[in-house]
Amino acid sequence: MKKLLGLVAILAFSVASYAQKGPKIEFKAKDNTIDYGTVSKDADTGIRTFEFTNTGDAPLIITNVQSTCGCTVPSKPTEPIMPGKTGKIDVKYNMNPGKISKTITVESNAVNVEGGKVALRIKGEVVVKQEKNVLEKGKVGPQS
C-alpha cells in the first residue's frame, strides 16, 4: 500500500511539473485592458500597444490575433518570442465618435491560458472636438 501511494505521489508530481513547462504569455496591461479614456477623433491616431512577456521556457508563437469587428485592426508578431523576451500587439481603432468597447482575441501556444487564447480589451470614448466659431462669438443683433 505504501508503495502504491508513493507511486501515485511521484506520478502526480511528474504530471504537475510537466504541465508547467512550455511558453507562457503575461500581458503588462492591468486586466488585459487598455483604456483610451476620452479622446478627440482629430487629435488621436487610435493606435495602442499591448506589451507581453514570454515567462515560460519555450518559444511563444502567436498564431492569430482577431477583433470582434472591422473597426479595430490588430497586428501580431511574425517571429516567435523567446523565453524572457517581450513582444507587442498593436491595435488601431478607427476613432468613430462614441463609446469604445472592443475585444481582441490572441491565439498562441501558451500553456498558462486555456486553449492558448487570451482576450484583450480596449475601452474609452471618442469625441468630436468642438470648434468655436469666432464669427458666432462676436455676432451682434440687427442694428436700427
Q: Are 102 and 72 in contact (CB under 8 A)?
A: yes
d(CA 139, CA 126): 31
Residue 108's nearest CA partner among 31, 32, 52 is: 52
Per-residue confidence band for 5, with pLDDT thresholds at 50, 70 and 90: low
Cell digits of residue 49: 500597444
133 close to 41: Cβ distance less than 8 angstroms? no
- The grid coordinates of residue 60 equal 511563444
Q: For residue range 10-30, what is the model confidence (pLDDT) as tens digits?
A: 555 555 545 569 999 999 999
* pLDDT grade for 42, boundaries at 50, 70 and 90: confident
The whole-number pLDDT of residue 136 equals 58
pLDDT, one tens digit per residue, over 68-125 is 889 999 999 999 999 999 999 999 999 999 999 999 999 999 999 999 999 999 999 9
- Grid coordinates representing 115 are 486553449
Distance CA 129, CA 43 (A): 8
Contacts of 2 (CB under 8 A, 6+ apart): none
Whole-prediction pTM value? 0.75
